[in-house]
DNA sequence: GTACTAGCGGTAATCCAGGGA
DNA sequence: ATCCCTGGATTACCGCTAGTA
């Protein structure tokens, strides 16, 4: 095996391929990133490199390309993320501001939700006047008159039968905190639902 | 300078540090990722490595850590992206489903958007009857009568002055595809906006 | 099953350009 | 300018795995 004019003792590195060698291999790489033995031998002959060096170069080049591509995707992902976040914010605001084509007022969904939530919190934090402990100590009775007095913005006892039904159900609940919370939630939701007709009255045709 | 018991001819690489050497350096790395000359010399003495090798190891370790961190951030970004996309979809649907308390029907925003989009696509795909090329070949004229005939669901020429104004603007546009698309978009949006009063009529009090 | 091979991930060892005392 | 160090990119190579004859 007559050597290719540079039989270095193996493991001894010859630093940096020349610009020309790199350009040639780069050009080949764009057409064929994974040359076979023949192509590599041909290239090594043309460029004055050992076949093994050519093999190494292509291997390293492939990994380099891979990492660069990943980096590119990375920045792209960052941008997309930014945009999605902005879109999300816009949608969130749009939901609060959304106007309904059936009438020309804004939907009050958000307002209702916020108000109901506040009411629930306040109801939960209240004690004896609103939530009366029964004599046996096992149940808590909801004082509806007190409720109407405390939250006067609600139309007093609307005639909606759904509301009456539900409110009667939540009037007596067990002491269990979860049930209590659910009862409050039900009442708050009823109130929110009951706003429907109220708002409709406000609407101008 | 009496050598450190391994004066290899320089440039001859000794493969792979031992598990012990790596563990020690790794432990040191967590406390101090960038040891100075003294610390490196001390480590090299303890581990039977050349100071230069220790230096190399720490340098390579730093870059490795960096790439690993990048990779980690990468996957994290992917997940976040996925989640944001899902949220976005949910918001979009919520916008379409949002019901308005001023009336008892669902908002027709989505329907309008879909219909407008379909109309835009159909308009874009149409040729001569709807989009007349002018004699000089440089401008495309929008045939409004043909439009009304083709899409009869639109109330013929509503008296809304905004619509008239805008439609006149988009009647004559240059051949430029971007402008053309914008004109179509404008017309479609006008149509969508013009639906407002129409829906109001449908609403039951 | 077995021997051979290419490709890949990981790692050691540099080279190079640039920053700071 | 001088010297040392660091990060980024390169070159060389080992060990493992999968595909193939």
A35 to A16, A29, A46, A55: CA distances (angstroms): 21, 8, 15, 8
Residues B32 and B20: their CA atoms lie apart, in Å, by: 18
B102 part of contact set with chain A, CB < 8 Å: yes
Give how far Cα A176 sits from Cα of A111, A122, A125, A146, Å.
Answer: 30, 18, 15, 22
Q: How far apart are the first and last CA of chain A?
A: 99
Q: What Å value separates CA B47 and C1' D8?
A: 28
Separation of B23 CA and D10 C1' (Å): 27
Q: CA A131 from chain center: how many Å?
A: 39
State the pLDDT at residue A96. 72
| Span B106-127, pLDDT tens digits | 544 445 444 554 555 555 556 5
**Structural domains of chain B in order of their starting residue, each with its CATH number:** 19-74 (1.10.10.60), 99-170 (no CATH)
Question: Can you tell me the mean pLDDT for A156-176?
Answer: 31
The model's confidence at residue A91, banded by pLDDT at 50, 70 and 90, is confident
Residues of chain B in contact with residue A78, where contact means CB-CB under 8 angstroms, are 77
Would you mind telling me the total number of residues written for chain B in this entry?
205
Determine the protein residue whose CA lies at the shortest distance from the C1' of D6: B59
Instruction: Count other Cβ atoms within 10 Å, centred on residue A55.
Output: 17
User: Is strand D in 7 Å reach of the CB of A13?
Assistant: yes
CA A29 to C1' D7 (Å) is: 27
pLDDT at B17 over 80: yes
Bridge partners (DSSP) of residue B51 are none
> Which residues in chain B are contacts of A112 at CB distance < 8 A?
101
Number of CB atoms found within 10 A of residue B163's CB: 18
Q: What would you measure as the largest C-alpha separation in chain B, in angstroms?
A: 101
Which nucleotides in chain C lie closer than 7 A to a protein CB?
A: 5-16
pLDDT: which is higher, A145 or B197: A145
- Protein chain B, residues 35-54, with a C-beta closer than 7 Å to any atom of nucleic acid strand D: 36-37
Tell me the nt nearest to A63, Cα to C1'.
C8
Contact B88 A88 (CB under 8 A): yes
Nearest CB to A200 within list B74, B103, B109: B103
Look at residue A167 and tell me whether its pLDDT is greater than 50.
no
Side-chain half-sphere exposure of B49, counting CA atoms within 13 A: 27
pTM over 0.85: no
Helix/strand/coil for B106: strand
pLDDT for B187 equals 47
Q: Is a pLDDT exceeding 90 seen at residue B163?
A: no
Question: Of A184, A204, A202, which Cα lies nearest the Cα of A108?
Answer: A202
CA B28, chain centre distance (Å): 42
Phi first, then psi: give them for residue B132, nearest 5 degrees: -95, 125
pLDDT over threshold 60, residue B180: no
Q: pLDDT: is B26 or A126 the higher one?
A: B26
d(CA A25, CA A58) in angstroms, rounded, equals 8
Confidence bin at B198 (pLDDT 50/70/90): very low
Cα(A54)–Cα(A61) distance, rounded to whole angstroms? Answer: 10
A64 closest-nt by C1' vs CA: D9
């Amino acid at each position: 095996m007559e050597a290719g004019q540079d039989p270095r003792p193996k493991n001894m590195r010859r630093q940096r391929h020349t610009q020309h060698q790199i350009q040639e291999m780069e050009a080949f790489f764009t057409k064929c990133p994974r040359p076979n033995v023949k192509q590599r031998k041909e290239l090594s002959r043309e460029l004055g490199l050992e076949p093994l060096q050519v093999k190494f170069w292509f291997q390293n080049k492939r990994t380099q390309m891979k990492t660069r591509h990943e980096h590119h995707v990375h920045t792209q992902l960052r941008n997309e993320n930014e945009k999605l976040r902005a879109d999300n914010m816009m949608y969130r605001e749009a939901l609060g501001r959304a106007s309904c084509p059936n009438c020309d007022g804004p939907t009050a969904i958000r307002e209702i939700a916020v108000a109901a939530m506040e009411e629930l919190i306040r109801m939960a934090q209240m004690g004896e006047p609103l939530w009366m402990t029964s004599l046996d100590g096992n149940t808590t009775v909801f004082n509806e008159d007190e409720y109407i007095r405390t939250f006067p913005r609600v139309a007093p006892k609307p005639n909606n039968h759904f509301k009456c039904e539900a409110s009667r159900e939540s009037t007596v609940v067990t002491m269990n905190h979860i049930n209590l919370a659910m009862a409050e939630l039900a009442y708050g939701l009823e109130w929110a639902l009951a706003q429907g007709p109220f708002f409709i009255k406000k609407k101008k045709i």
